[in-house]
Chains A and B, each alone.
Chain A
Amino acid sequence: MLNNPILKVENLHVNFNTYAGTVQAIRDVSFDLNKGETLAIVGESGSGKSVTTKTLMGLNAKNAAIPDNSRLLFKDRNLLDLTENEWQSVRGNEIAMIFQDPMTSLDPTMKIGMQIAEPLIKHRQMKKEDALARALELMKGVGIPNAEEHINDYPHQWSGGMRQRAVVAIALAADPEILIADEPTTALDVTIQAQILNLMKQLQEETASSIIFITHDLGVVAGMADRVAVMYAGKIVEYGTVDEIFFNPQHPYTWGLLNSMPTTDTEVGSLEAIPGTPPDLLEPPKGDAFASRNVYALAIDSKEEPPFFKVSDTHYAATWLLDERAPKVTPPEKIQKRWAHWQEIQGQEA
């Protein structure tokens, strides 16, 4: 699986020049996306996950600055070298995006069928009628009942869940190779969330596209992702397969995220929030950005940034706790349970 990356992100930095100074929103992010896999990028708001996706779509605000050594390699091209015209043939065509809020992301004055047909007219040079015919198929594909009757509807006539299906249909219209989903279910009811997630999973199996799934909610990651990257303060702090992140987490930030996530066996009242707030990226702290909120912080954390330590071939974490000189720490009780479960799985496999 690892040997077939469709997208390689290397040393990505994104800075925003604001009146108050330069905000270092993304600070050296690298990852691969393999064909047909779903990569989840998880983090709190402000961790840089949304900026990462906007960068992948070439949709950053005008005040964004990306240094020359950053690379987004997609099909032998560095996307960062593209002109605006070249970007237009990538967006919605090779890389498409599902937005967060279906209530605001559809044009209220355009018929939904037409909004789905637009990428086809643009990228497949289809005639309007053909594009609308294909849009109808797509509407059926994303599970819109009686699609024929609703192709000429306007967004305000539809519920949030139905609209998000339409947004998914727009993203899939031109058969993109990469689908970026930016918190696609955050704005929806829980039951609708599950429907949309199932839909995405099913469509991915049909089309073999790769998905980058952005979320702050580890709960939805479990069923969706093959691999997970945890972001904090503009950096990836830990990445691995979904099992490795869930059952063998190494970074204290990942521990915090998992502890703040409700699970079926969570006792009432035992959810723990991570204390404190993410650092100000106008002046990122020296060393490990998480140190100030980390109860396991080492003295070195405030002096030097931790490198990635290898846990397995697929699993890396940037925390000094993995250094051989570091003391052995006992993670929170719930993380110990997860580790124990991991030992079981490993034992079974072995």
Chain B
Amino acid sequence: MWKYILKRLVLMIFTLFLVITATFFLMQIMPGTPFNNPKLTPEALAQLKTTYGLDLPLWQQYLNYLVGAAHGDFGISFQYQNQPVSMLIGQRLPVSAQLGAQALVVGVIVGLFMGAISARNKNNKIDGVSGILSTLGISVPSFILGIILVYLFGFKWPLFPVSGWGTFSQTILPTLALAASPAAVTTRFVRSEMIESLGSDYVQLAKAKGLSDKEIVNKHAYRNSMIPVLTLIGPMAAALLTGSTLIEQIFSIPGIGQQFVLSIPSKDFPVIMGTTIVYAAMLMVMILITDILTAIVDPRVRLQ
């Protein structure tokens, strides 16, 4: 198991290296720099270039960046001069992480619950309602749901604050907007897993043992249909990253996603690169964690 984790970590570092290299050289060929302001004097421009190390040969810039990135140093923001990218990210990452974690937890719990109820009430009204909700949940993108929530609960019936960060009530609407899709995905998944499990031979055997429906569901069907849900967490985390950039923008949440969006029009390349690398690392860590969790919970899976 440890050997496996080590192997995965090595692959992760290699992938991150590729991501860093790719983003670095992509940034080099990006059209336009934030410095082509005609008002800048040649002296000022040279000064700026020195500050950012842009006067060095390309290979040296690359090496410097690589070494810096390995230490968590992603250079200095173009947009907010004197602000290291790592500091910007460091301030904003916890906000995004909290929002993402809240949405993931709410989404998965709601999904487990609704999926199980649907499966046990297969083809009746409860299942129908949950089917409609979950299908809507996967077809309504989180940013549209966010806009709907802002309109309904911010303007129409002002029950919750619709912008900012700091109090719990400010997290409610963005969490709901982000949680809908994971909830829907989990519901659909758990429902089909559970239906398959309830029709399986081992459930027949459990029935033949004389267990009640409740005991069968609690002792056999649940566990067998919950374990595969773990495999969903990787893709859902990726979707949360995407969703939260827009949600943070809509709800004016000072998270890493909002920073990312703001840095695009201003061509703040150091911030874009830093965020990219952090995003990739976060996703890879999530996938690794779920793989390890699966191996712990599912006796059939052995990491190798």
Interface, chain A (partner B; CB < 8 A) = 57, 59, 85, 87-93, 96-97, 99, 101, 104-110, 118-119, 122-123, 154, 156, 167, 170-171
Contact of B205 among A122, A123, A156, A170 (CB under 8 A): A170
Bound: A119/B205 CA distance, A:
11
Interchain nearest-CB distance for B40 vs A (Å) = 66
Main secondary structure on B side of the interface with A: helix
Q: Which of B207-258 contact A (CB under 8 A)?
A: 207-212, 215, 219-220, 223-224, 227
Residue of A nearest to B208 (CB): A97
Contacts of B205 in A (CB 8 A): 97, 99, 105-107, 167, 170
Do A104 and B200 touch (CB < 8 A)? yes
Given A88-B210, A170-B209: A109 and B201 interface contact (C-beta under 8 Å)? no
Contacts of B200 in A (CB 8 A): 104
Interchain nearest-CB distance for A114 vs B (Å) = 9
Contacts of A105 in B (CB 8 A): 201-202, 204-205
Bound: A105/B201 CA distance, A:
5
Do B300 and A154 touch (CB < 8 A)? yes
Do A122 and B219 touch (CB < 8 A)? no
- Ordered nearest first, which 6 A-B pairs have the shortest CB separation? A92-B210, A92-B209, A91-B210, A154-B299, A104-B201, A105-B201
Residue of A nearest to B226 (CB): A109
Total interface residues in chain B, CB < 8 Å: 21
Interchain nearest-CB distance for B243 vs A (Å) = 32
Do B209 and A119 touch (CB < 8 A)? yes
Bound: A193/B201 CA distance, A:
20
Residue of B nearest to A102 (CB): B201
Contact of A123 among B201, B202, B210 (CB under 8 A): B210
Bound: A106/B200 CA distance, A:
10
Contacts of A91 in B (CB 8 A): 207-210
21 pairs, CB–CB < 8 Å, chain A vs chain B: A57-B207, A59-B204, A85-B212, A87-B210, A88-B210, A88-B212, A89-B210, A101-B201, A104-B202, A106-B205, A107-B224, A108-B224, A108-B299, A109-B220, A109-B224, A109-B300, A118-B209, A119-B210, A122-B211, A154-B300, A170-B205
Interface, chain B (partner A; CB < 8 A) = 200-202, 204-212, 215, 219-220, 223-224, 227, 298-300
Given contacts A92-B208, A118-B209, 6 further A-B contacts (CB under 8 A): A91-B207, A92-B211, A99-B205, A105-B202, A108-B300, A171-B208
Interchain nearest-CB distance for B212 vs A (Å) = 6
Contacts of B202 in A (CB 8 A): 104-108
Do A109 and B209 touch (CB < 8 A)? no
Contacts of B207 in A (CB 8 A): 57, 59, 91
